Amino acid sequence: MSTAPRIDVDVAAFWHDPYPTLARLRREAPIAFVPQLGSTLLCSRDDIYVCEKQIEVFSSHQPEGLMNRLMGHNMMRKDGDAHLAERKAIFPAVSPKTVKTHWTTQFQSHADRILDALVPAGACDFVREFALPFSAECLKSITGLTNMRFQDMNAWSQGMIDGIANYVGDPDVDARCRAATSGIDAAIDEMVPLLRRQPDQSLLGVMLACEMPMESIRANIKLAISGGQNEPRDAIAGTVWALITHPDQLRLLMAREIPWMQAFEEYTRWISPIGMSPRRVAKPWTVRNVDFEPEERVFLMFGSANRDEKHFSRPDEFDVRRDTSKSIAFGAGPHFCAGAWASRAMVADVALPAIFTRLERLRLIADEPARMGGWAFRGLLNLPVTWDRPA
């Protein structure tokens, strides 16, 4: 175990709102062992920025980690040449060029279809009725699993992210995760013959075309679903919530004085949808007088890094005018999120402008408060809104 100071946390309170605890850790113990999580947390943006790139020390390869055990050995849990080979294989499906020329048109089609059905209603839970199905329909297209229902895409993604964050070992959570991975395997099996006959630009299509081993294909599709559903879903709903509760900032966006992309980047700094990434210590190492031993587990706390007072003034405030260049919402090292360009296009290029154009005077329903939860993965649990119906 590391020599970091031991700091106890209230797990329930941490799930409800991790930011007060993370701020205290940055002040008092930016590297701290938290027994309730069984890990040493790195909370300083500078420490994380450096350590994430030291893959020979802070390794993503975690043979006994929850992700490997539950989802298979994907590229996120590989380092060096093994990671780069699989990253290179999927790049044609998620490159900036492919996103711009191929996927963005499909994203727009999904958004328009869902909004067409929503507009006459005049009210909804925005998480459930737009953010969830939109993210899932886009992810169905990108993964190539167009045979899935969007409800299954969301449920199975949630089952997996709950499973890989199940550090307290809840057997019900583990069972739901295993059911989710079985469902995804069945969907893959159904699509493989079709995509072998008619290859396309989806993740499944390009991995089959380059003859990646099937166990790696399965693991990487599950990886894409585990992060590719909840992050855009939570960023869409969260950014909408942030803007309608900061109407002065929304007016800047509507007047085109600030681009939608900046609102997305600021939200993912302020409320990091993916707030943590685990690492395994591969060899003895010292960071700022804290000694680490091989095989112990470290959490890189992105959610803390993105509110580090050394880099962001008024870090607990949402402000679309902020310089977000120091944000590491998508990571900082060789494991920088491969889906970042697709996520940015889904949220900033398509969803946000469509939402605020089509849903006139979008606003909260006052007597139904929005709720948020999570620390490893964080997002709104609901978002009751209303808007003016067309005349």
Tell whether the model's pLDDT for residue 391 goes beyond 80. Answer: no
How do strand 372-373 and strand 277-281 relate by DSSP bridges? unpaired
Percentage of the chain lying above the pLDDT 70 cut = 100
The CA R_g of the chain, rounded to the nearest whole Å, is 21
Please check whether residue 21 is in contact with residue 12, taking contact to mean a CB–CB distance below 8 angstroms: no
The angle at the Cα of 103, spanning 102 to 104, to the nearest 5 degrees, equals 105
Please check whether residue 341 is in contact with residue 98, taking contact to mean a CB–CB distance below 8 angstroms: no
Q: Report which of residues 169 and 134 the model is more confident about.
A: 134
Strand order through the sheet with 31-34: 31-34, 39-42, 297-300, 277-281, 58-59
Tell whether the model's pLDDT for residue 260 goes beyond 90. Answer: yes
Tell whether the model's pLDDT for residue 70 goes beyond 90. Answer: no
Please check whether residue 227 is in contact with residue 274, taking contact to mean a CB–CB distance below 8 angstroms: yes
CATH superfamily of 11-386: Cytochrome P450 (1.10.630.10)
| CA 102 distance to own-chain centroid | 22
Looking at residue 328, its amino acid is: I
Q: How distant, in Å, are the alpha carbons of 117, 129, 239 from that of 358? A: 11, 15, 16
Per the structure block, which two tokens stand in for 257? 């004085």
Quote the DSSP letter at residue 89.
Answer: H
Residue 49 pLDDT level (bands cut at 50, 70, 90): very high
The C-alpha atoms of residue 360 and residue 310 are separated, in whole angstroms, by 39
100-110 confidence digits (pLDDT tens): 999 999 999 99
Per the structure block, which two tokens stand in for 368? 């139904």
Residue 97 pLDDT level (bands cut at 50, 70, 90): very high
The C-alpha atoms of residue 32 and residue 325 are separated, in whole angstroms, by 26
Question: Which pLDDT score, from 0 to 100, does residue 162 have?
Answer: 87
Looking at residue 313, its amino acid is: S
312-342 confidence digits (pLDDT tens): 999 999 999 999 999 999 988 787 888 899 9
**CB burial string 161-186: b at 16+ within 10 A, e below:** bbbbbbbeeeeebbebbbebbebbee
338-386 confidence digits (pLDDT tens): 889 999 999 999 999 999 999 999 999 988 899 999 999 999 999 999 9
141-198 confidence digits (pLDDT tens): 999 999 999 999 999 998 988 888 777 788 999 899 999 999 999 999 999 999 999 9
Look at 70-74, 118-122, 198-202 and tell me which has the smallest mean pLDDT.
Answer: 70-74
The C-alpha atoms of residue 278 and residue 288 are separated, in whole angstroms, by 19
Question: Which pLDDT score, from 0 to 100, does residue 178 have?
Answer: 92
What's the mean per-residue pLDDT of the chain? Answer: 94
Residue 69 pLDDT level (bands cut at 50, 70, 90): confident
Residue 222 pLDDT level (bands cut at 50, 70, 90): very high
The C-alpha atoms of residue 205 and residue 192 are separated, in whole angstroms, by 8
- Phi first, then psi, for residue 373 (nearest 5°) are -155, 165
Number of Cβ within 10 Å of residue 20's Cβ equals: 11
Strand order through the sheet with 363-364: 123-125, 384-386, 363-364
Q: How distant, in Å, are the alpha carbons of 21, 26, 48, 276 from that of 303? A: 11, 12, 11, 7
17-43 confidence digits (pLDDT tens): 999 999 999 999 999 999 999 999 999
Question: Which pLDDT score, from 0 to 100, does residue 339 have?
Answer: 87
